[in-house]
Amino acid sequence: MKTIMLVCSAGMSTSLLVTKMQKEAENKAIEVDIFAVSASEVDHVMLQKDIDVLLLGPQVRYLQTQFEKKLKDKNIPIDCINMKDFGLMNGEKVLDQALVLINGN
C-alpha cells in the first residue's frame, strides 16, 4: 500500500480532493492511503507515518523548497498539485500525478 500526503494551508481545502482521489483509487483497484494535513502538521505526521509522496496544494507551493530540503534524505518525492486539477478537484489526475512520482516515471 502506498501513502499519499496532501498538504494545504489548513488541511481543509484538500479534504474533498482526498475523497475524490480515494474513489478513483477504488475504481482502479489501487490500494492507497490518502490523507490531507495542514502545512504546520507535516513534521509531526512524518514522525508517525511512512509517506511515499507529498503533494502540495497550490496555495502552499511556496513551501516546496523548504519541504524538499527536509525530505531530501528520506527519498520522498514532492510536487505541487496542478492548479487547474486542484480547482476542478480532479481526483483522477492528482492520483495519477502521485503514482507517477512514486513509481519514478
**For residue range 2-59, what is the model confidence (pLDDT) as tens digits?**
999 999 887 667 888 999 999 999 999 999 999 999 989 988 998 899 999 999 999 9
Q: Give the residue from 30, 19, 10, 8 showing the smallest Cα distance to 96.
A: 30
**Count of structural domains, the chain:** 1
Among candidate residues 5, 6, 8, 94, the one labeled active-site is 8
| Domain coverage including residue 26 | 2-103
Give the per-residue SS3 of 18-60.
HHHHHHHHHHCCCCEEEEEEEHHHHHHHHHHCCCCEEEECHHH
Is residue 6 exposed (0-12), middle (13-18) or buried (19+ Cβ within 10 Å)? Answer: buried
74: domain CATH number?
3.40.50.2300
8 is catalytic: yes
Evaluate if pTM is beyond 0.85.
yes
